[in-house]
């Protein structure tokens, strides 16, 4: 009788392991680029097609592999990084588990070309679904070329779960940027569908950040340096005025490895306490060096989460270092008790005796006396110019003459005529004429409008969102939006990745009312704006729009139009706390009930409620 427990075949075990290692094309990119870095390459080139679903190729000029290593690298748990269990706590390389290439080869068509510098010929291997197809010698340059085609060709269910090309490309770019930031001494190039996305020459940390995120990033950076026995910190943080509403520019690089650490992120946020706007996030690019034995990086399959031995000490050092840098570069307010030289008395006035001003007072002045004397001039004895202080002399009789007529014995009474109409005064008129419908703003959040049947309470922000949403949706569809031309065009800086998405949604933005004069690699020149948007808000609105679409850029045009319209309506709509005059209140109310669906906001939240007279009566 056979047992029910059996050993899995290698190709099945590899596919199961691939579920942890290879989640999407970006996972393949990460593993292959890190292998190229470990091979001590100075030039790394990444080529992708269809967001990695069709092709991923990584070419490097590293050390390469011999025939034995080239064949053995596709076996499970085959690695050149560790020899003993103790090596897990003294890692200086990227990959070490030995499952990446075996997992990739189990779910894709893999082609490997590699050659060492001292060898005359290289090796060319083709593997499909963990099965070796061919293995030949070939004339190759020094280094390694990994080509991965048709990812998840034998697991259709996994392929169906992949997102759109734009979303998958975003994840690939994220992984590429993380490795490129950690190794500025290596030259990186990325090509997507035949177009160059990044061309990053070998440089220092600051220049690498600028090359990735745009030229104007340089003015946003504040250097951070600190060295202790347990932690060495270097890198840059962003100035508070350049903070964003997203976390797209936050990087912790521990021992040249990108990590995610909510604990350390909280240390940065506490250092910025009181300097950021509500819900804004600072930018930071921090390189942390800790002794390898004090960190465990093998607690997560993707190795982006780590465990530190003494997190509290790292928290305190990081927080104080960032706070010190912000204060040292006059970014954060500090208390300064030093003497201010601008308050000193000038040198040529130091020994000069000051003259005391003299004020003369006329003790005989009587404001009720009749003035018959000429005007007197009062002046200080120290001034060459004189100023006259006189009372207003209007020729008029004395006050006693105003009552002279009262001494007469007879008076003439002037005749007074009265109108024939009788004016009746009543508390309530018999016929009450209805006044105009009352409308006012309550708590700068709700609009209260009286009706015959009761009261109408409208949420002003949601109502304006509904109005703008239908306007933007109509304008994008019909392409008849009015654009407000700018006297001086706006030049807005974007990263290479953000420019890709901006070009993707450019037709939709033009339908709303944007006018683009120029679209470069990392800059956009805007010459016209929708009437509802102020030029001071354009920068933040476009950056936030791109960030929101990066996570899930819809595949069909209607969903994209709907997403853009919803975001723009939420960004531009009048906020809670803003005072509205009577005309603005009337425009919102009239515009709301002219909408196709005035009941709910674009995000399916109620816009208004009604309180009938019966509801009010029940309260009494």
Pairing mode of beta strands 143-149, 109-115:
antiparallel
Identify the CA nearest to 25 among candidates 207, 189, 188, 163: 163
pLDDT at 405: 56
Q: How many CB atoms lie within 10 A of CB 304?
A: 15
- With 60 as the cut, is the pLDDT of residue 402 above it? no
pLDDT at 131: 86
Overall average pLDDT of the 4-19 stretch: 66
pLDDT at 110: 93
Q: Rounded to whole angstroms, how far apart are CA atoms 34 and 441?
A: 59
The answer to whether 175 touches 33, Cβ cutoff 8 Å, is: yes
Q: Rounded to whole angstroms, how far apart are CA atoms 515 and 511?
A: 9
Residue spans of alpha helices (H) in 62-215:
67-72, 100-106, 156-160, 165-182, 205-213
- With 50 as the cut, is the pLDDT of residue 230 above it? yes
Q: Six-digit token pair at 322?
A: 């960032």
pTM for the full predicted model: 0.70
Overall average pLDDT of the 120-126 stretch: 92
Q: Rounded to whole angstroms, how far apart are CA atoms 352 and 570?
A: 65
CB neighbour class for 575 (10 Å; exposed up to 12, middle 13-18, buried from 19): exposed
From residue 292, give the alpha-carbon distance in Å to each of 65, 334, 521: 27, 37, 39
Q: How many CB atoms lie within 10 A of CB 459?
A: 19
3-state helix, strand, coil in the chain (%, to 5): 35, 20, 45
- With 50 as the cut, is the pLDDT of residue 526 above it? yes
Please state which of the ranges 143-157, 208-222, 325-339 shows the lowest mean pLDDT.
Answer: 325-339
pLDDT at 79: 62
- Tell me what the pLDDT averaged over the chain comes to: 80
pLDDT at 232: 92
Overall average pLDDT of the 605-611 stretch: 93
DSSP 600: B
Q: For the chain, which residues make up each domain, given as ranges?
A: 10-200, 213-328, 446-610
CB neighbour class for 478 (10 Å; exposed up to 12, middle 13-18, buried from 19): exposed
Please state which of the ranges 293-302, 311-320, 354-363 shows the lowest mean pLDDT.
Answer: 293-302
- With 70 as the cut, is the pLDDT of residue 283 above it? yes
Share of the chain above pLDDT 90, in %: 30
The class that CATH gives domain 213-328 is alpha beta
- With 60 as the cut, is the pLDDT of residue 85 above it? no
> How confident is residue 465, by pLDDT bands cut at 50, 70 and 90?
very high
Domain over 446-610 is classified CATH 3.40.50.150: no
pLDDT at 429: 43
Overall average pLDDT of the 299-321 stretch: 80
pLDDT at 459: 95
Overall average pLDDT of the 126-130 stretch: 88
- With 60 as the cut, is the pLDDT of residue 380 above it? no
Query: Which phi and psi (to 5°) does residue 283 adopt?
Result: -95, 140
Overall average pLDDT of the 216-228 stretch: 89
Three-class DSSP labels, 184-235: CCCEEEEEECCEEEEEECCCCHHHHHHHHHCHHHHHHEEEEEEECCCCEEEE
> How confident is residue 20, by pLDDT bands cut at 50, 70 and 90?
low
Say which residue, 620 or 285, is predicted with more confidence. Answer: 285
> How confident is residue 383, by pLDDT bands cut at 50, 70 and 90?
very low
Please state which of the ranges 36-45, 150-159, 229-238 shows the lowest mean pLDDT.
Answer: 150-159
> Which CATH code, of 3.30.70.870, 3.90.950.10, 3.40.50.300, 3.30.565.10, is assigned to 10-200?
3.30.565.10
Q: Is the dihedral of CA 598, 542, 284, 33 positive or negative?
A: positive
Question: DSSP per residue over 533-576, as a string?
Answer: S-TTTHHHHHHHHHHHHHH---SSHHHHHHHHHHHHHHHHSPPT
> How confident is residue 124, by pLDDT bands cut at 50, 70 and 90?
very high
Overall average pLDDT of the 320-337 stretch: 74
pLDDT at 424: 47
> How confident is residue 343, by pLDDT bands cut at 50, 70 and 90?
low
pLDDT at 377: 47
Please state which of the ranges 384-393, 475-484, 545-554 shows the lowest mean pLDDT.
Answer: 384-393
> How confident is residue 69, by pLDDT bands cut at 50, 70 and 90?
confident
- With 90 as the cut, is the pLDDT of residue 47 above it? yes
- With 60 as the cut, is the pLDDT of residue 432 above it? no
pLDDT at 598: 92
DSSP 119: -
Query: Which residues have a Cβ under 8 Å from the Cβ of 357 and sit 6 or more positions away?
Result: 380, 382
Query: Which phi and psi (to 5°) does residue 138 adopt?
Result: -155, 155
- With 70 as the cut, is the pLDDT of residue 234 above it? yes
DSSP H/E element including 511: helix 506-512
Q: Rounded to whole angstroms, how far apart are CA atoms 420 and 422?
A: 6
pLDDT at 162: 86
Q: Rounded to whole angstroms, how far apart are CA atoms 338 and 340?
A: 6
Overall average pLDDT of the 303-311 stretch: 77
b/e sequence 163-180, b meaning 16+ C-beta within 10 Å: bebbbbbbbbbbbbbbbb
């Amino acid at each position: 009788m056979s047992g029910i427990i059996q050993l899995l075949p290698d190709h099945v075990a590899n596919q199961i392991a691939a579920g942890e290692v290879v989640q999407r094309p970006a996972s393949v990119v990460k593993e292959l680029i890190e292998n190229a870095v470990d091979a001590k390459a100075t030039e790394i080139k990444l080529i992708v097609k269809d967001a990695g679903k069709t092709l991923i190729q990584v070419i490097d000029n590293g050390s390469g592999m011999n025939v034995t290593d080239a064949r053995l690298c596709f076996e499970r748990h085959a690695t050149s990084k560790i020899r003993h269990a103790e090596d897990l706590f003294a890692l200086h390389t990227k990959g070490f588990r030995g499952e990446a290439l075996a997992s990739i080869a189990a779910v894709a068509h893999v082609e490997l070309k590699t050659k060492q510098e001292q060898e005359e010929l290289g090796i060319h291997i083709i593997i499909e679904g963990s099965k070796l197809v061919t293995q030949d010698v070939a004339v190759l340059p020094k280094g390694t070329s990994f080509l991965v085609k048709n990812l998840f060709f034998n697991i259709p269910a996994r392929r169906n779960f992949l997102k759109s090309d734009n979303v998958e490309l975003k994840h690939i770019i994220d992984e590429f940027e993380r490795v490129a930031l950690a190794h500025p001494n290596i030259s990186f190039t990325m090509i997507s569908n035949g177009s160059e996305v990044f061309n990053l020459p070998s440089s220092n940390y600051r220049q690498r950040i600028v090359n990735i995120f745009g030229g104007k990033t340089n003015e946003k950076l504040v250097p951070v340096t600190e060295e202790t026995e347990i932690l060495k910190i270097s890198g840059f943080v962003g100035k508070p005025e350049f903070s964003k509403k997203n976390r797209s520019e936050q990087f912790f690089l521990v021992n040249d490895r990108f990590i995610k650490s909510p604990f350390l992120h909280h240390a940065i946020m506490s250092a910025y306490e009181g300097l950021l706007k509500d819900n804004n996030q600072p930018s930071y690019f921090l390189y942390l060096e800790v002794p390898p034995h004090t960190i465990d990086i093998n607690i997560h399959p993707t190795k982006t989460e780590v465990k530190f031995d003494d997190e509290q000490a790292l928290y305190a050092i990081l927080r104080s270092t960032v706070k010190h840098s912000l204060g040292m570069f006059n970014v954060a307010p500090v208390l300064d008790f030093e003497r201010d030289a601008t308050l000193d008395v000038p040198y040529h006035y130091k020994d000069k005796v000051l003259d005391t001003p003299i004020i003369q007072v006329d003790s005989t002045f009587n404001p009720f006396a009749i003035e018959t004397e000429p005007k007197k001039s009062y002046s200080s004895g120290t001034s060459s110019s004189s100023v006259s202080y006189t009372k207003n002399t209007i020729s008029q009789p004395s006050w006693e003459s105003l009552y002279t007529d009262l001494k007469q014995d007879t008076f003439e009474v002037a005749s007074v005529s009265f109108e024939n109409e009788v004016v009746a005064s009543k508390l309530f008129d018999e016929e009450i004429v209805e006044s105009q419908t009352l409308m006012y703003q309550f708590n700068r959040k709700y609009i209260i409008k009286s009706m015959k049947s009761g009261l109408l309470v409208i949420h002003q922000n949601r109502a304006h969102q509904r109005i703008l949403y239908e306007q933007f949706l109509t304008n994008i569809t019909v392409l008849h939006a009015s654009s407000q031309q700018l006297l001086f065009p706006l030049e807005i800086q974007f990263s290479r990745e953000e420019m890709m998405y901006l070009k993707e949604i450019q037709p939709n933005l033009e339908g709303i009312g944007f006018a683009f004069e120029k679209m470069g690699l990392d800059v956009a020149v805007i010459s016209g704006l929708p009437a509802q948007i102020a030029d001071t808000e354009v920068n933040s609105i476009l950056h936030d729009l791109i960030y929101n679409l990066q996570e899930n850029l819809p595949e069909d045009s209607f969903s994209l139009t709907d997403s853009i319209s919803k975001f723009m309506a939420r960004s531009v709509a009048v906020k809670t706390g803003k005072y509205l005059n009577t005309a603005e209140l009337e425009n919102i109310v009239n515009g709301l009930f002219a909408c196709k669906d005035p009941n709910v906001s674009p995000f399916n939240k109620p816009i208004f409620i009604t309180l009938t007279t019966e509801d009010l009566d029940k309260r009494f």
